[in-house]
Amino acid sequence: MPDHKLIGRPARQTPADVVTTPGAPLSLPNDLLQQASRRLEIMALIAAVLWVLGPVFGHLALFVTHPEDPRWAQFGTIDLVAASCVVLSLSLYAYLRSGERDPASVMDLALVYLVANAFSLGIMVHWGAPEAPPADPAPMISWIGPVVLIFAAIVPTSPWKLLVAGFVAVSMDPVGMMLAGAVGDYPHGSLSSALVMHYPSYLLLGVAVVISRVVNRLGQQVRREREMGSYRLGELLGRGGMGEVYRATHRMLARPAAIKLIRPEALAAADGGMAQLAVTRFRREAEAAAKLRSPHTVELYDFGVTEDRTLYLVMEMLEGMDLESLVRQVGPLPAARVIYILRQVCESLAEAHADGLIHRDIKPANIHVGRLGLQHDFVKVLDFGLVKHVADGAGDGAPEHSQATATGLTPGTPAYMAPEMSLGEAVDGRADIYALGCVAYYLLTGKVVFEAETSLQMVAKHLQATPVPPSRRADVDVPPALERLVLACLAKAPADRPGSARELDRLLAEVAIEPWGEEQAKRWWTARDAAGPTPRDAA
């Protein structure tokens, strides 16, 4: 393991270290550009609605103020311009919705869209103006200036690009005024009067450039903050109660990985000492988990703590899905496949328990199944970074359970939590056996062992209620021997459960059933690939 020092400030980068999106002028994170693309999509839809409502309310206002003016019921030049912008806005919306687009190219397209809207606004403001405007045109702020400010705030592009596009956009006011003057619709159509009237828009352009610089610097700061040691963060893969998981790449080896960030607020404590205790426990437990070598335990590459106390774990990238997603997609699994999966989990837990480590949060979402090399239905047990060592006791200076609760680091999910964990009693590997029994029940039935409206009710049922045999709730055949074994895992007293993961593995192997193996697993994954896209990498 490398030296795990605090790394809040990344080392200064050389040009070769900076990875930019093709066509992007600045090295902004790709996911931020994608979010900006979605904002542009929403803005285009809103603009289409406004281009409809604007002329409608204009006609209505003319009717209310000048009912004798026949123009309120006529479709004129302004309405034609508005209709064109509706078509343009809806076309942009449809284009962005139709598929994944290069975010950097979308940002450039947004600037073209800005200029097109500005031209239309310049025409609408001055076309059909009053026949007798003031003799001396007064400075004014049209709609174009605020629109440029909006684009600067939500479209992260380089300041010089915004300056060029923005200058063309705000110049559409003088252009529209001069065009209107050329056709006799606006008496003050000279260049000097146009510039005098619209110089405030050019001032707003300067403000927009400043906003653009701020937005870009914030984006670059996000990118720099995402540099975790030797790894560079990429797109967000998922978000949970304690933090987020990002795709990552090793800066030198280009090795794909996944980084789990545990947010500082998840470590909120009554005082700084408790927060420091949480960091100390995290470091100790991550070091212990990193020693696990079972092929069915997700490999932990690295870990660390940033200066803002964000904890991070660097793990291997996996191809496939977790068991919760699998059951949601395909329903309950055949008993033979359930046994095949559970035995691999047992192998992972057996090594951990032999080293005195208890997972304490075994659940379908923490068990990944997929492909590894040429193997299919290959299981990886996740979240071994926050395990508990059975020898910890109260070694940190206070009862372990109360400390973990105070710092927000207590693992466990009520639907899969062993009774002794809920009671705060001493736990050993048999707590993981209970949780694995709950997982087996879920895989066979597609339902959790006990259903409840609140977590407290769920805990109470695990303490007191007797589970319904899975065969009564399953849509698949459950061999009696497998059912007895699952119910044994769900015994309230740890002594009534299988004594170890190795014993459970042996008992699963003894269930008389046609086995599920690599051949069946390969056919299943091949058929799934033929039916749809390859499962997304997950961690």
Question: What's the rounded mean pLDDT across residues 327-352?
Answer: 96
**CA 507 → CA 307, 340, 442, 482, 521, distances in Å?**
48, 12, 19, 9, 22
**Which pLDDT score is estimated for 197?**
74
User: Has residue 56 got a pLDDT over 90?
Assistant: no
Asked if 287 contacts 329 with a C-beta cutoff of 8 angstroms, the reply is no
CA distance 116 to 68: 34
Q: What pLDDT digit, counting tens, does each position of 461-503 carry?
A: 999 999 999 999 988 899 999 999 999 999 999 999 999 999 9
Higher pLDDT, 496 or 153: 496
- Is residue 322 over pLDDT 60? yes
Statement: residue 182 has pLDDT above 60: yes
**pLDDT mean across residues, the chain:** 79
**What is the average per-residue pLDDT within 104-127?**
83
More confident call, 191 vs 115: 115
pLDDT (average), residues 443-453:
95
Query: Which whole number is the average pLDDT over 347-375?
Result: 92
The pLDDT confidence band at residue 12, using thresholds 50, 70 and 90, is: very low
Q: Which residue has the higher pLDDT, 368 or 182?
A: 368
Selected residue with higher pLDDT from 280 and 214: 214
CB 259 within 8 A of CB 309: no
Residue 193 has pLDDT above 90, yes or no: no
Higher model confidence: residue 487 or residue 107?
Answer: 487
Residue 324 has a pLDDT of 95
pLDDT at 232: 74
Mean pLDDT of 119-140: 64
Residue 535 pLDDT greater than 50, yes or no:
no
State the Cα–Cα distance between residues 91 and 119, nearest whole angstrom: 18
pLDDT number for residue 231: 75
The answer to whether 361 is a known catalytic residue is yes
> CATH says 320-538 is which class?
mainly alpha
Query: According to the model, what pLDDT value does residue 473 have?
Result: 92
As a whole-number percent, the residues of the chain with pLDDT over 70 amount to 75
- The pLDDT value given to residue 327: 95
Q: How large is the average pLDDT for residues 442-467?
A: 94
Pick the residue with more confidence: 257 or 504? 504
pLDDT tier at 437 (50, 70, 90 boundaries)? very high
- Please tell me the predicted confidence (pLDDT) of residue 263: 66
Q: How confident is the model at residue 377 (pLDDT cuts 50, 70, 90)?
A: very high
State residue 397's pLDDT score. 39
pLDDT band at residue 512 using 50, 70 and 90 as cut-offs:
very high
DSSP output for 204-269: HHHHHHHHHHHHHHHHHHHHHHTEETTEEEEEEEEE-SSEEEEEEEETTT--EEEEEEE-GGGG--
The rounded distance, in Å, linking the Cα atoms of 155 and 105 is 12
- Among 143, 157, 167, smallest CA distance to 211 is for 157
Q: Does residue 6 have a pLDDT over 70?
A: no
Averaged pLDDT for residues 54-81:
79
Per-residue pLDDT tens digits for 303-321? 877 666 678 888 888 889 9
Task: Give the start-to-end residue ranges of the domains of the chain.
Answer: 30-225, 320-538
**Higher model confidence: residue 281 or residue 336?**
336
Decide the pairing of beta strands 311-316 and 367-372. unpaired
Percent of the chain with pLDDT over 90: 30
Q: Does position 401 have pLDDT exceeding 70, yes or no?
A: no
Mean pLDDT of 419-432: 92
Choice among 173, 302, 322, 361 that is catalytic:
361
How far is Cα 161 from Cα 25, in angstroms, rounded to an integer? Answer: 9
Look at residue 314 in the predicted model and tell me its pLDDT: 86
**CA pair distance 302, 144, nearest whole angstrom:** 51
Query: Residue 264: which of 242, 234, 284 has the closest Cα?
Result: 242
> Does pLDDT of 331 surpass 90?
yes
Of 136 and 28, more confident: 28
Position 23 scores a pLDDT of 37
pLDDT band at 275 (very low <50, low <70, confident <90, very high): low
